[in-house]
Structure 1
Amino acid sequence: MLPKALILLEGSRMGTGQLYVQAAKYLGLHPIILSSDPAQYDYVATENTEAIRVDTDDPDALILECYRLRATYDIVGITGLPNPGESLYAIVAKLCRHFGLPGPNPTSIERCCDKFHQRQLLAEGGVPVPAYRLAANATEVESAAAEIGLPVILKPVVGNGSSGVRLCRDAEELAEHTIGLLGGTYTWQTSPAILVEEFAEGPYFVADIMGNMIIEIGAGKFGPPPHFVYDEYTYPAPLTDDQRTRITDVSLSCLRALDLNWGPTNIEFRWTKRGPVVIEVNPRLAGSPDPQLIKLACGVDLVTEHIKLVIGDECDLRKRHSLTASARFLVPDRDGTLDWIDGAAGVPGVAEVTWYFKSKTPIVRKGDARDCIGHVIAASPTPTQTSAILQRAVDSITWSITPFPAIDE
């Protein structure tokens, strides 16, 4: 009898990949990572995990590799890890369909990959979204911004992790970011296409969903504009009953509009003057540390339950307790070489301390999720206590970054 294997496409430097490997082993599976560069994931060595180099942008190469592995293993499931984004999930969905394994509808995932198409479908489904326009050049960007009214958000139509996303508060910032996106400094995954949208002002929330069930709603904060770099996440979000009901109703409307009814989804909102406005629907599990926060807050292990779905088992999404769990992201204030980073581990109440980079790593800030160099998680019975623990932990952390040598003109 062949050993049962779970295929994991790509990974995550922010910790989710290791969680999937550990959960797979706990369920008695043999995890195999397929990646274009397996060496970038430290846990491949620490977890003694099989990893194979393959072009994960090439469906045919992935299919051939899976057929090769089937000579040695019983492949019972295929999935992708959260951080590489929606385009990878579209490939995962096609692989699952090809091999007759449980998985999402490829068409539904592809609908979400294009943010403009996603906006259209949501609007047609009566879901509240920001005003938006599609632009292919600087003239169209300027015209769209004039129609919508400044400030506006500029973002690539395809992408994730807030890469290329910026708040443009005036004409100068609009022109500067347009040049940055179209002038060769931004690396496009597809042909250049920019989504120009209304800046929906208000508190940020995210709904984490499995199938058609809202597991939990979290609240998030970002660092200073014009970028959207994570600062803090808290589960559960401090919502009134009415707010929770309205976010739940809009979330279910999103699933219907996009025909998402299998597996994990996370939906981002801003609570505006007109209530919850959908910023984005991501047809995948949220990246780290959201799964850890949800497990601490209510006892649902979304990583394990997702794997159960992937291999055709039943999920157990029952909440087991109620705590407040928060994460603070660590973001450097300069570019340079990370000499060292330390602290927080010994603070009572701290549940996790994770560094994303090793010492002597060059740090180049990009104004997106990649700027974070680590996170700290705390959990307790009350929001006030959790906040206090988290602040003590963050205050104990120190790091050193040596600026890059100046380049003589």
Structure 2
Amino acid sequence: MDCIVFLETHKSGSSRDAIEAAVQMGYFTILLTQQMKKMNQREEYPDVHQMIFVKDLQDKDVIYEKLAIINKQEKQIKAFISFVDPFVRLAAEMAAELGLTSLSAPALYHMEDKTRFREILNGHPAAPKHAVLSLEKDADTLFHTYADQLPFILKSPVSNGSKDVLLIKDKEAFLDACTYFKRQSGLSSLLLEEYVEGPQYLIEIIVEHGTVQLAAVIEQIISKEARFIITGYLMPAPLSDSSTEELQTTIESIVHHLGLTHGTCHAEMRKTDSGWKLIEINPRISGSAVNQLIYESTGISLVKETLKLNLGDRIDCIPKKQLSAYAHFITIQGRGKLIKVTGKQKAKTVASIKKVYVKPRRGSILSAPVSMGHRYAYVIASSPDKDEAVNAAKSAAEKIKFHLEPI
């Protein structure tokens, strides 16, 4: 029996889409998880054929023990993969050790930590200026060292989803940020980056034996610049041919410098007067609604193509259709315990709506957004007309209401 082993998954989004795609491709799916909550909610993962608990997914010896048991069950492992931070590079390394398709694990390693990829790209035309700050140093002294660079970005080297990414405009914000970061266990340094202005885009990248393909270029709509909360995604991004060509060249150069010759990643770029600038790069497809958004726009399942890349099969990123697709995310103001959510069915009846998703359960504590994990629902619309897709998604989102009990 041919199977694909996944290291961890989220309950929804691209990582879960990948498991569903594996089932559709005819593979037996095995999930290794370190979250007992998933084991207790086993019935909510019908697409996972076999779920195995591993206390620490960074412990390769224990994982190999589990794989030995799988092999004794006459299951043939064809791919070993993760779509979840921080297991992407580990899965790639172990796949190579198992004699499976080999991805560019060193490049994935560089992308896992923001300090590492900044150092590799130091001096690259697309790389904003940066510095590494030690949290052991006096915050007041640090501020005066970099005050002439205001405004700038402070972030954790291992942040994702806009968590722990702060825009610093003055001394008070800097000192507050240092105090905040010092409270975090295991964090000894911060990454300071030049603040870059300009529209922001999400680029999904797939590299097959050195050939770089931009599988998707998506415009991001940022509602809260201080925390960089993205509430809208438009595919395809409205870019000129010349801008797209320049982006392709820039991405190829970045990928080459990082050493990625076989694998996937996604980058966040800003288009500035001095060219494209790299804001983030991560060693996997974006999470949440992005795979679904790409599918509604092009007919391409990027997680399926990623699985094919890991299986050693040829990929196919040629669009099957060409529509505009828009994903609109919902946040709330204030804080409270969720009593109920209304309007979901009404949202589904809006013309051009393809998906409506509400994340939190009754009783969850909700709050105003400080990271993208505080986006509590989304809707996706697609249409031949860009404005129609955007308006439909926003109209449907307005029908969804979160009813909270103050706490």
Who is 1:202 aligned against?
198
Who is 1:80 aligned against?
82
How big is the shift at 1:201? 1.0
How big is the shift at 1:150? 0.9
Q: How far apart, in 1, do the equivalents of 2:338 and 2:178 lie?
A: 31
How big is the shift at 1:21? 1.9
Who is 2:59 aligned against?
58
CA RMSD of aligned residues (A): 1.8
Would the aligned equivalents of 1:154 and 1:197 in 2 still touch at CA under 8 Å? yes
Who is 1:92 aligned against?
91
Shift of the 252–140 alpha-carbon distance from structure 1 to 2, 3 Å rule, reads farther
Q: How far apart, in 2, do the equivalents of 1:291 and 1:299 lie?
A: 10
Q: Which amino acid aligns with 1:331?
A: T
How big is the shift at 1:238? 0.8
Query: Any unmatched runs of 5+ in structure 2?
Result: none
Q: 1:394 aligns with which of 373, 392, 397?
A: 397
Q: How far apart, in 2, do the equivalents of 1:35 and 1:140 lie?
A: 44
Q: How far apart, in 2, do the equivalents of 1:220 and 1:308 lie?
A: 28
Q: How far apart, in 2, do the equivalents of 1:234 and 1:398 lie?
A: 23
Would the aligned equivalents of 1:145 and 1:152 in 2 still touch at CA under 8 Å? no
Q: Which amino acid aligns with 2:374?
A: D
Who is 1:374 aligned against?
377
Who is 2:339 aligned against?
339
**Alignment of structure 1 residues 228-243 onto 2, 5 Å:** 228-243=228-243
The normalised TM-score by structure 2 is: 0.92
Would the aligned equivalents of 1:141 and 1:178 in 2 still touch at CA under 8 Å? no
Would you say 1:68 and 2:69 are equivalent positions? Answer: yes
Query: Any unmatched runs of 5+ in structure 1?
Result: 405-409
Q: How far apart, in 1, do the equivalents of 2:103 and 2:334 lie?
A: 41
4+ runs of 1 displaced by more than 6 Å? none
Who is 1:363 aligned against?
366
Q: How far apart, in 2, do the equivalents of 1:144 and 1:112 lie?
A: 28
Would the aligned equivalents of 1:10 and 1:36 in 2 still touch at CA under 8 Å? yes
Shift of the 173–304 alpha-carbon distance from structure 1 to 2, 3 Å rule, reads same
Would the aligned equivalents of 2:202 and 2:219 in 1 still touch at CA under 8 Å? yes
**Alignment of structure 1 residues 2-13 onto 2, 5 Å:** 3-13=1-11
Would you say 1:192 and 2:188 are equivalent positions? Answer: yes
Q: Which amino acid aligns with 2:111?
A: C
Shift of the 383–11 alpha-carbon distance from structure 1 to 2, 3 Å rule, reads same
Q: How far apart, in 1, do the equivalents of 2:213 and 2:230 lie?
A: 26
Who is 1:407 aligned against?
none
How big is the shift at 1:366? 6.0
Would you say 1:39 and 2:8 are equivalent positions? Answer: no
Q: How far apart, in 2, do the equivalents of 1:187 and 1:292 lie?
A: 35
Residues paired across the two proteins, number: 393
Would the aligned equivalents of 1:293 and 1:326 in 2 still touch at CA under 8 Å? yes
Shift of the 63–224 alpha-carbon distance from structure 1 to 2, 3 Å rule, reads same
Shift of the 103–403 alpha-carbon distance from structure 1 to 2, 3 Å rule, reads farther
Who is 1:16 aligned against?
14
Would the aligned equivalents of 1:141 and 1:196 in 2 still touch at CA under 8 Å? no
Shift of the 222–144 alpha-carbon distance from structure 1 to 2, 3 Å rule, reads farther
Shift of the 270–227 alpha-carbon distance from structure 1 to 2, 3 Å rule, reads same
Who is 2:288 aligned against?
288
How big is the shift at 1:53? 1.1
